[in-house]
Structure 1
Amino acid sequence: MADNVLWIITDDQMRSTLRSMDRTWRRLARKGVHFRRGYSAMPLCGPARASILTSLYPHNHGCDSNMTHPPFVAQGHDRDTAATRMRAAGYDTGYFGKYMNGLAQQPSYVAPGWDRWIALLDGMVDDPRVNVDGTVRTVGSQREFDAFAAQRLRRFIRRHRDTGPWFAVYAPTAPHGPYTPSPEHADDFDGVEWDPPALNEPDMGDKPSWIRDLPPQDRRRMRKIYEGKLEELQDVDDRIGSVLDVLRRTGQLRRTWIFFVSDNGYLLGEHRLFHKSQPYEESAGIPFVVRGPGVEPRTVDALVSQVDLMPTTLDIAGLDPDAGRDLDGRSMLEPLRSGDWSSWRRRLLVENTNLDWAMLREESQSYVEHVRSGEWELYDLASDPHQLQSLRDTDVSEWSRRTGQLAGSRGRALRELEL
């Protein structure tokens, strides 16, 4: 029987918080491939989710605001996604969780390719309505919705104990604010410290002009948000554990590929910034784990992106990822199985086409070009992992050329530029 595929996509989770999720760490990260250098295609919820579903960078899908669903549908992107291709290949499919912001404008919409559809109508989580296979229901709070979606996912898995392969997505709203962990975990991280080296960076002279005079963030507020995120992630961890239990009990765990990522990271006062969208590791970097049949546990430094999920999933199903149109991402399947990443991409693009910056990661360096202002930053993350000092006395003309090429390319041409 063909392998199943499960994507788990958290919301606003920093890469550094993965280790706090004990079940996820033990049962996914330590039993699969843990990528230390996983990145969002664009560190903003809606555009990132559009990139995950289509394997297109934002400069190719054109959905660069956080109200993503309307332009995504208007451009016809929903008609060619990982779901539509897997469904056409004979997989049963199910979506359980947050989809895209703007879905409330079409309350009864069910995205093509999904047999089961449990989607939060308002991705900003202040609307308790849920679309259940085209019917609008009220579930309650963010925490209640995440539990409801996980329960429906477990039911979906149990129903496929003895049937053909399936492809499913579990996308909890956590750890997106407002922070409402369950009573069981509400005090797990009370008083946790928050003092990263880049918090309220004192010397901002190496940063672009718009950021240099930002006031410091309220350290107590940042710490409280960090506490809330960690506590909500314990609830996510519990639900992941329950899903893994069902997979094991139904005999499906050994033939299921599990991808764990977030839509973007989060800044909590680093470089005096709050939120996401910016080209720094805390925001652009995401947790990234893959567990699957025949995959030897290891931690690797390969540069991987959200756009790689769709081609890898299609490859698992025996499909040509580029059939019909070129994908911007590349299949990880062969190196995941072999452990040999020597032929993998050497450089990786991250971008924000709304704020007009593009970042190029190559080896230990991170180059950021702010196109509108003509400013740039260059960091060596080996010696400066917290990006405290841009390498100003550097000729960046070649960096700029390569970044511009990647940010203007698509499909096979883009992937060739990564090598």
Structure 2
Amino acid sequence: MADNVLWIITDDQMRSTLRSMDRTWRRLVRKGVHFRQGYSAMPLCGPARASILTSRYPHNHGCATNMTHQPFVAQGHDQDTAATRMKEAGYDTGYFGKYMNGVAQQPAYVAPGWDRWVTLLDGMIDHPRVNVDGTVRKVDSQREFDRFAARRLRRFIRRHHDTGPWFAVYSPTAPHGPSTPSPEHADDFDDVPWDPPAFNEPDMSDKPTWLRDLPPQDRRKMQKLYEGKLEELQDVDDQIGQVLDVLRETGQLKRTWIFFVSDNGYLLGEHRLLHKSQPYEEAAGIPFVVRGPGVEPRTTDALVSQVDLMPTTLDIAGLDPDTGRELDGRSMLEPLRSGDWSAWRRRLIIENTNLDWALLREGSHAYVEHHGTDEWELYDLERDPHQLASLRDADVSEWSRKAGQLTGSQGVAMRGLEQ
């Protein structure tokens, strides 16, 4: 029987918080490949999710703002996704969790390719609406929806214990604010320390002009936000543990590939910033883990992106990822199995087509080009992992050329430029 595939996509989770999730750490990270250099295609929820589902970078899918659903559908992107292709390959499919912002304007919408559809329509309000296979109902809260979606996923898995292969997504709303952890975890991280090296960076003269006069963030407020994220992630950790239990109990764990990522990271006062969307490691970097049949546990510095999920999943299903449309991402399947990443990409682009910047990662360096203001930043992350001192005297002409090529290309041509 062919292998199953499960994507777990959290919301606004920083890389640094992964270690706080004990079950996920023991049962996914230690049993799979942990990527220290995983990145969002664009560190903003909606555009990132569009990139995950289609393996298109934002400059190719054209969904620049967080109200992503309408332009995504208007351009026909929902007609060719990981779901539609896996469905055509004979997989049963199910989506359980947050989808894209803007979907509430079409409350009965069910995206093509999904056999089961359990998505949140309203966030951050009491008794939000939920779409269950095209029927609208309500749950008590946004956090209750995460548990509701996880229960439906577990039911989906149990029903497929002796049937054909399946492809599913579990996308909880946590740890997106405002913080509402369960009573069980509400005090797990009370007064947790929060003092990252880049917090309220004192010398901002190396940063773009719009950043230099930012006021400092309130440390206590940032600490409380961090505390809330960690506590909410304990609830996610519980749900992941229960999903893994069902996979094991039904004999499916050994033939299921599990991808764990977030849509983007988050800045909590680093460089005086609060939010995501910016080209710094805390926001652009994401947790990224893959566990699967025959995969030896290891940690790697290979540069990977959300756009790699779809081609890898199609490859697992025995499909040619580029059939019908060339994908921007590349399949990780062979190096995941062999452990040899020597032929993998050497450089990777991350971008924000709304704020008009591009980030190029290559080797130990991170080059940022701000197109609207004609400014740039260059960091050596080996010597300066917290991006405190841009290399202002560097010649960046070659960095700029490479970034420009990557943000103007797609598919096979783009992947060639990464080598």
* Alignment TM-score, normalising by the size of structure 1: 0.99
| Residue equivalent to 2:24 | 24
Question: Where in structure 2 are there 5+ consecutive unaligned residues?
Answer: none
Shift of 1:15: 0.4
Q: 1:100 to 1:127 in 2, by over 3 A?
A: farther
**Residues 269-326 of structure 1, C-alpha deviations (whole Å, 9 max, x = no match):** 0000000000000000000000000000000000000000000000000000000001
> RMSD in angstroms over aligned alpha carbons?
0.7
SS in 2 for 1:96: strand
| Residue equivalent to 1:146 | 146
User: Is the 2:55–2:328 contact (alpha carbons within 8 Å) kept by the matching residues of 1?
Assistant: yes
User: Is the 2:328–2:411 contact (alpha carbons within 8 Å) kept by the matching residues of 1?
Assistant: yes
| Residue equivalent to 1:176 | 176
What is the identity, as a one-letter code, of the residue corresponding to 1:363?
G
User: Is the 1:52–1:310 contact (alpha carbons within 8 Å) kept by the matching residues of 2?
Assistant: yes
Shift of 1:122: 2.8
Q: What is the number of equivalent residue pairs in this alignment?
A: 419
| Residue equivalent to 1:237 | 237
What is the identity, as a one-letter code, of the residue corresponding to 1:5?
V
**Residues 124-156 of structure 1, C-alpha deviations (whole Å, 9 max, x = no match):** 667700000000000121110000000000000
Q: Aligned equivalents of 2:338 and 2:127: distance in 1?
A: 45
What is the identity, as a one-letter code, of the residue corresponding to 1:251?
G
Q: Aligned equivalents of 2:325 and 2:91: distance in 1?
A: 20
What is the identity, as a one-letter code, of the residue corresponding to 1:14?
M
**Residues 95-146 of structure 1, C-alpha deviations (whole Å, 9 max, x = no match):** 0000000000000000000000000013566770000000000012111000
User: Is the 1:92–1:167 contact (alpha carbons within 8 Å) kept by the matching residues of 2?
Assistant: yes
What is the identity, as a one-letter code, of the residue corresponding to 2:84?
T
User: Is the 2:149–2:170 contact (alpha carbons within 8 Å) kept by the matching residues of 1?
Assistant: yes
| Residue equivalent to 1:167 | 167
| Residue equivalent to 1:224 | 224
Task: Indicate the percent of aligned positions where both proteins have the same amino acid.
Answer: 85
SS in 2 for 1:144: helix
Q: Aligned equivalents of 1:126 and 1:338: distance in 2?
A: 48
| Residue equivalent to 1:81 | 81
| Residue equivalent to 2:300 | 300
**Residues 322-345 of structure 1, C-alpha deviations (whole Å, 9 max, x = no match):** 000010000000000000000000
Q: Aligned equivalents of 1:55 and 1:126: distance in 2?
A: 34
| Residue equivalent to 1:267 | 267
User: Is the 2:127–2:139 contact (alpha carbons within 8 Å) kept by the matching residues of 1?
Assistant: no
User: Is the 2:55–2:311 contact (alpha carbons within 8 Å) kept by the matching residues of 1?
Assistant: yes
User: Is the 1:256–1:293 contact (alpha carbons within 8 Å) kept by the matching residues of 2?
Assistant: yes
Q: Aligned equivalents of 2:140 and 2:226: distance in 1?
A: 24
Q: Aligned equivalents of 2:70 and 2:41: distance in 1?
A: 20
SS in 2 for 1:28: helix
What is the identity, as a one-letter code, of the residue corresponding to 2:293?
P
| Residue equivalent to 1:57 | 57
SS in 2 for 1:31: coil
User: Is the 2:266–2:283 contact (alpha carbons within 8 Å) kept by the matching residues of 1?
Assistant: yes
Q: Aligned equivalents of 2:353 and 2:43: distance in 1?
A: 11
User: Is the 2:29–2:290 contact (alpha carbons within 8 Å) kept by the matching residues of 1?
Assistant: yes
User: Is the 2:126–2:140 contact (alpha carbons within 8 Å) kept by the matching residues of 1?
Assistant: no
User: Is the 1:102–1:123 contact (alpha carbons within 8 Å) kept by the matching residues of 2?
Assistant: no
Q: Aligned equivalents of 1:197 and 1:55: distance in 2?
A: 34
* Alignment TM-score, normalising by the size of structure 2: 0.99
User: Is the 1:129–1:140 contact (alpha carbons within 8 Å) kept by the matching residues of 2?
Assistant: no
**Residues 338-362 of structure 1, C-alpha deviations (whole Å, 9 max, x = no match):** 0000000000000000000000000
What is the identity, as a one-letter code, of the residue corresponding to 1:167?
F
User: Is the 2:257–2:293 contact (alpha carbons within 8 Å) kept by the matching residues of 1?
Assistant: yes
Q: Where do 1:386-401 residues align within 5 Å?
A: 386-401=386-401
SS in 1 for 2:170: strand
Question: Where in structure 1 are there 5+ consecutive unaligned residues?
Answer: none
| Residue equivalent to 1:359 | 359
| Residue equivalent to 1:189 | 189
SS in 1 for 2:30: helix
SS in 1 for 2:376: strand
Q: Where do 1:338-353 residues align within 5 Å?
A: 338-353=338-353
Q: Aligned equivalents of 2:119 and 2:103: distance in 1?
A: 9
What is the identity, as a one-letter code, of the residue corresponding to 2:145?
F
User: Is the 1:264–1:283 contact (alpha carbons within 8 Å) kept by the matching residues of 2?
Assistant: yes
User: Is the 2:10–2:263 contact (alpha carbons within 8 Å) kept by the matching residues of 1?
Assistant: yes
User: Is the 1:5–1:256 contact (alpha carbons within 8 Å) kept by the matching residues of 2?
Assistant: yes
Q: 1:288 to 1:81 in 2, by over 3 A?
A: same
What is the identity, as a one-letter code, of the residue corresponding to 1:9?
I
**Residues 238-274 of structure 1, C-alpha deviations (whole Å, 9 max, x = no match):** 0000000000000000000000000000000000000
Q: Where do 1:73-152 residues align within 5 Å?
A: 73-122=73-122, 128-152=128-152
Q: Aligned equivalents of 1:143 and 1:406: distance in 2?
A: 39
Matched, 1:254 2:246: no
